[in-house]
Homo-oligomer: A and B are copies of this chain.
Amino acid sequence: MTRVEIEYCVPCGMLNRAQDVSEALLTQFGEELDEVALVTGDDGVFVVRADGEVVFDKTEDEYDVDAIVRAVRPYVGAAA
C-alpha cells in the first residue's frame, strides 16, 4: 500500500495548504492509500512524497492540488 508524506513549513502557516492536499488525496484515492502524513517542517519547505519519492516540491513546481493528485496516482496501490 502507499504512504504519502506532505512536509510543510509550520512557521510559514502552510498547514491549510497541507490539509487541502491531504483532503484531495484521501477523497480521490480513499483506501487505495495506506496513509497520508502531515510532517512538520520549517524554512519554507512544502514537499509531497509518495513512498519516499518526491512528487511535488514548492521550490520547483507551481502549487496545484490537482497536479499533485495526478503526480501521486502512479504510486497508488503500489505493491506493499
Closest chain B CB from A19 CB (angstroms): 6
Q: How many copies does the complex hold?
A: 2
For chain A, the count of residues having a C-beta within 8 Å of the partner chain is 20
Chain B hits for A27, CB < 8 A: 15
From B23, B34, B37, A40 is in contact (CB under 8 Å) with B34
From B15, B23, B30, B35, A37 is in contact (CB under 8 Å) with B35
A33 within 8 A of B: yes
As a 0/1 sequence over residues 25 to 40 of chain A, the CB contacts with chain B under 8 angstroms (1 = contact) are 0110011011111111
Known: A5-B35, A26-B40, A38-B38. 13 other contacts (CB 8 A): A10-B26, A10-B30, A15-B23, A15-B26, A15-B27, A19-B22, A26-B38, A30-B40, A31-B42, A33-B40, A35-B38, A36-B38, A37-B38
